[in-house]
Amino acid sequence: MYQTTIKKAVELVGIGLHKGSPVRLRLEPLEKNSGIIFYRSDVDVSIALTPANVVDTKMATVIGKDNYVISTIEHLLSAVYAYGIDNLRVIVDADEVPVMDGSSASYCMLLDEAGIKELDAPKKIMRIKKEIMVQEGDKYVKLSPSPDLRYGFTIKFAHPVINKQEYVLNFTKENYKNEIARARTFGFLHEVQYLRSKGLALGGSLDNAIVLDDKKVLNPEGLRFTDEFVRHKILDAIGDMSLIGMNFIGNYEAMAGSHDLNHKLTLALLKDAENYEVIELVGEKTAELEKAYA
């Protein structure tokens, strides 16, 4: 199994969630062993996708360098990671990635348009060797050894539409596209009003998020899945875990996880080399993994 990039450059324009302004996004191929590199064309700054470059995790995963940032990267990265893409240049002309419809479906379509290209280098993958958990109160995120890749998530909200939701994704690219990619981000009306008073979420609307008042979903079309909320949390987690720099084999589990806890989990994982091993995928052993990203 070999490292991959995209076959051709592709681009789109969408609205930034916080500024509410149009953002041009362009994806370009990169050579082997390059990793994922973000580039802000408006200020000529490149930012490598590493945990060390994460500068904020309160409302989204934000990377930065030299006082320049790129926000809300997790939905795009979720699709990139699910497609098993190892090397990619992500170009934006503003300080955030466009939110599109609040899911990663648009990015999946963009990657389908770009196509996947194999490179002349074996794919590297991380195998989780020990259990690693980050816990704050009754909230936690955890990685544990497993022969395959699974994401399990539980959320609890004191809201009649959400309540308690649980979901487990047995990862394959097709399962991701069918079960996770269309799940939208969500928020509560009072939170949106507060954020806008602070000059944030100016691009947020019923076109790119599920919005709830105290009793119901305000979007006229309703939900795409009855448990769309927890599915989106898995979408976010997949994007956040891409910060480790490669796909991994193991079991991810979360109870009320967040961008912040996911970031702390990546730091805890990488802090001790005894937690994992990096293997190059060569030979017949890769057959199952190749099917997962087919």
Q: Render pLDDT for 197-212 as a digit per residue (tens, 0 to 9).
A: 777 677 888 999 999 9
Give the pLDDT confidence score for residue 286 in this predicted structure: 66
Give the pLDDT confidence score for residue 13 in this predicted structure: 97
Of 75, 232, 259, 263, which residue is the catalytic one?
A: 259
Q: What is the CATH number of the domain that holds 94?
A: 3.30.1700.10
- Percentage of the chain modeled with pLDDT above 90: 85
pLDDT of 288 higher than 70: no
Domains: count for the chain: 1
Q: Which domain holds residue 105?
A: 2-292
CA distance 172 to 150: 9
pLDDT of 294 higher than 80: no
Considering only CA atoms, which of 25, 199, 189, 172 is closest in space to residue 95?
25
Looking at per-residue confidence, does 189 or 267 come out higher?
267
Extract the tokens encoding 134: 């980050």
Average pLDDT, the chain: 94
Give the residue ranges of DSSP H helices in the chain.
Answer: 74-82, 105-114, 173-179, 189-197, 228-241, 259-271, 287-292
Residues 6+ apart with CB under 8 A from 140: 133, 134, 254, 255, 256, 257, 261
Give the pLDDT confidence score for residue 283 in this predicted structure: 64
Please confirm, yes or no, whether 18 is among the known catalytic residues: no
